[in-house]
């Protein structure tokens, strides 16, 4: 009888006195290509870390590598977030550093990172070129790691994994931050490596998968069970929302009718021009969708709006009625804004509790460093209750499942009832039900007249309140348009970006 490729018996994992995996059993045979799914916090990532040797657990685990295979006898786990380091080996960055070119020189370029990885793994550089082209990543060779967006970091992880071609490749949320074209090409690349003998475990709730996927497994109540493909898709169900807190029913106090005004804005890094003659006006109360392929300039555009980009002073940029550089500080600007972005989430204070994380939104800090007056403490308590986080309020933010972490950050962004809410791919990594619930909350919270800029690739995964769209392509404005129900429906079917 042929030995199974992966054998797991009676695997048990407890985290912070909570049972995550309970006597889990799983057998993976040669040639089986899996999608692993389950609710947020069910233990998917923990199981992947156990299989790859990054996490210890009680039980028996055996990976039977093929000694006759030309592929490396290795389990490679691609995490949902890539933790890079600077040239001195330090990984402690703050998210504004991405836009400061002088500090960006502290990190390797993409090319240097690939050269280092190839040398470490004994790989040839010429073999990585087709992968870079397929994922539209070749043009980023000279970019510093700290300059990359979340989607671009994901591509770098995937490039290295597909280049290595280990015998077992586990990818956590493979499509996170990728545009439609990149997702399609990634599936083709995954099919290619599977034909070459790589076995896949994709941790994903997505429905557009490689054709090589032939098995589906679900973690539920700490155990794993086999499933049919149809069961891997979440059923769309709207949740009943609690009544919104009174202090958020009032319209924000607007300081200007124009929230953002850009006139022929240009941003360059050396010879590389990232934004070219951007003209854009966002008026109070408008709900905008910002779209574009990976590398189109979306994150840089938002960094101007959020006050983080140093080149804003060299451009004609007006925020909340004042020209940038007229004497206001970055903190003056942030008082008007509530923000969620993948980078901000990554660099958030790991020592903050749920309550502290929400309260920090009053002061635009990444943790709470002062005591709140009674009135503000009451508002935090109201939001904790509104978002269903009462049982978690004293827990560390980082200890929560991803879906709840995003709810905490949403609560943090709206605690001061800001004039402008910037949500940069806020549902990245969430499943269908979590995304729908999150956007349902956004619709409710923005009903008081709050201005919204929302970044999302899929038209079918957006708040219904979106009314206008700006599309970037290679740093230029390609489309500015008003959206109606019919337009949204057509674009939802095309999913162009």
- Cα 346 to its chain centre, rounded Å, is 9
The token pair that represents 441 in the structure block = 């909350």
Displacement of CA 62 from its chain's centroid (Å)? 32
Lowest mean pLDDT among 9-23, 219-233, 277-291: 219-233
Place of tokens 């539209």: 136
226 with 247: CB under 8 angstroms?
Answer: no
Burial of 458 (0-12, 13-18, 19+ CB in 10 A): middle
**486: enclosing H helix or E strand:** helix 485-494
Residue 489 buriedness (CB in 10 A; 0-12 / 13-18 / 19+): exposed
> Rounded CA gap, 271 and 296, in Å?
16
pTM: 0.80
Side-chain-facing half-sphere of 282: CA atoms under 13 Å: 32
108-135 pLDDT, tens digit each: 889 999 999 999 999 999 999 999 999 9
SS3 60: strand
Domains of the chain, first to last: 6-232 (3.40.50.300), 246-494 (3.40.50.300)
pLDDT score of 346: 75
pLDDT in tens, 487-496: 443 343 334 4
Report the mean per-residue pLDDT for the chain.
86
- CA dist., res. 162 & res. 257, Å (int): 49
Q: What is the dihedral of CA 415, 417, 423, 428, to 10 degrees?
A: 30
Average of per-residue pLDDT across 379-393: 95
The answer on pLDDT for 233 being more than 80 is: no
> What was the pLDDT predicted at 460?
63
Separation of alpha carbons 470 and 453, rounded Å = 10
Question: For residue 276, what pLDDT band results from cuts at 50, 70 and 90?
Answer: very high
DSSP 366-416: SS--SPPPHHHHHHHHHHHHHTT-GGGTTSBGGGS-HHHHHHHHHHHHHTT
């Amino acid at each position: 009888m042929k030995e199974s490729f992966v054998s797991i018996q009676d695997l048990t994992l407890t985290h912070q006195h909570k049972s995550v995996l309970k006597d889990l059993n799983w057998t993976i045979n040669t040639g089986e290509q899996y999608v692993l799914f389950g609710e947020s916090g069910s233990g998917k990532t923990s199981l992947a870390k156990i299989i790859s040797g990054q996490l210890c657990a009680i039980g028996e685990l055996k990976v039977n590598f093929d000694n006759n295979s030309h592929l490396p006898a290795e389990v490679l786990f691609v995490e949902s977030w890539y933790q890079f380091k600077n040239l001195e080996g330090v990984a402690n960055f703050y998210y504004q550093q991405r836009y400061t070119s002088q500090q960006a020189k502290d990190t390797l370029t993409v090319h240097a990172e690939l050269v280092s990885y190839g040398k470490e793994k004994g790989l040839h550089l010429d073999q990585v070129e087709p992968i870079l082209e397929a994922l539209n990543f070749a043009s980023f060779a000279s970019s510093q790691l700290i300059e990359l967006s979340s989607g671009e970091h994901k591509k770098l992880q995937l490039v290295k994994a597909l280049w290595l071609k280990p015998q077992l490749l586990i990818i956590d949320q493979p499509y996170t931050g990728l545009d439609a074209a990149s997702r399609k090409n990634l599936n083709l690349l995954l099919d290619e490596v599977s034909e070459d003998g790589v076995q896949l475990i994709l941790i994903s709730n997505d429905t557009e998968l490689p054709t090589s996927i032939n098995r589906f497994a679900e973690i539920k109540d700490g155990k794993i069970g086999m499933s049919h493909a149809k069961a891997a898709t979440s059923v769309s169900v709207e949740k009943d929302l609690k009544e919104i807190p009174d202090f958020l029913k009032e319209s924000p106090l607007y300081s200007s009718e124009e929230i953002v005004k850009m006139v022929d804005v240009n941003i360059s890094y050396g010879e590389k021009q990232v934004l070219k003659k951007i003209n854009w006006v966002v008026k109070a109360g408008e709900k905008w969708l910002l779209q574009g392929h990976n590398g189109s300039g979306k994150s840089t555009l938002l960094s101007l709006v959020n006050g983080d980009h140093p080149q804003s002073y060299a451009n004609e940029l007006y925020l909340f009625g004042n020209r940038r550089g007229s004497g206001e500080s970055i903190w003056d600007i942030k008082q008007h804004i509530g923000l969620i972005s993948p980078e901000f989430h990554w660099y958030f204070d790991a020592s903050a509790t749920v309550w502290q994380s929400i309260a920090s939104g009053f002061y635009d800090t990444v943790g709470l460093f002062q005591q709140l007056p009674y009135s503000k403490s009451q508002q935090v308590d109201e939001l904790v209750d509104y978002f269903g986080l009462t049982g978690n309020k004293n827990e560390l933010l980082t200890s929560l499942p991803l879906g709840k972490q995003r709810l905490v950050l949403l609560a943090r962004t709206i605690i001061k009832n800001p004039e402008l809410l910037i949500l940069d791919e806020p549902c990245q990594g969430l499943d269908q039900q979590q995304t729908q619930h999150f956007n349902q909350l956004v619709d409710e919270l923005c009903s008081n007249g709050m201005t919204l800029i929302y970044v999302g690739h899929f038209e079918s995964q957006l708040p219904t309140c979106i009314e206008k769209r700006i599309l970037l392509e290679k740093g230029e404005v390609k489309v500015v348009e008003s959206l109606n129900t019919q337009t949204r429906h057509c674009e939802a079917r095309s999913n162009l970006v």
